[in-house]
Structure 1
Amino acid sequence: MSAFKRALLLMFALSGVVILLALAITPSEEEIAAQQAARDADPTSGATYACREFIKASLVSPSSAEFGAWSGWEKELLDDGSVRVEAEFEAENAMGATLPGRMICVVREEGEKWFLEGLEDF
């Protein structure tokens, strides 16, 4: 078999794998409805993930961040609709030492997107 035919065959095989992965990753209508019901039942449910991403973005070494169990994070729905989250993690500092960290993150959900309103050490 020529190199061109092998490359063509490989390209088609990879295309098939990508299509299968896309189908496997796409949530069903039932899964989407269940996720929406969970968000409606607990308006703070997405805040922990949003805060995790905002905290990582603020770190010197985002890829070194280890957050442990999010279920232990304190969450509070504030009167204005924003969510206050107390997060604990470990991450490397500028010198490469891994240190524990604690931050208070305040986020607000608008539509399907979370916005950072405040982030500070505590």
Structure 2
Amino acid sequence: MRNFKYLGMLVFWIITSGMLIFLAVAGYWMIPYMADMFNEDRVWFTITALAVLLFMGLYVTLGVFIYKDSSLKKMNTWLWLTAVFYIPNFMGVVLYFYARRRHKIPAANDMHTQICPHCGHIIHAGE
């Protein structure tokens, strides 16, 4: 179980690093063409900057929520972060909330259920 956590974290950061490098190269390539548009009218620059900051804030807030909520539900946090960030049109968020609703955590106070203190899986479910 622990190896899958680190594998998921590695996949998430590899994809994220690749995307950031791609965006940096694309931005560096596009700056000379966009400079004329932004120098002529400062309103477009302000609107664009605010839109980018708004979406970045939305994704950071969503990422923090998904990370905390999925760890409380004993779900694979890095898998869900990867799905939420990289499946387009917020379909990753829809999938997460559907899986979250279907994911059951056994009650800790149920005397017939024993839970492993290290991984949280059911050891024995007897009557």
* TM-score, scaled relative to structure 2: 0.27
* Structure (1 or 2) with the greater strand fraction: 1
* Structure (1 or 2) with the greater helix fraction: 2
* TM-score, scaled relative to structure 1: 0.28
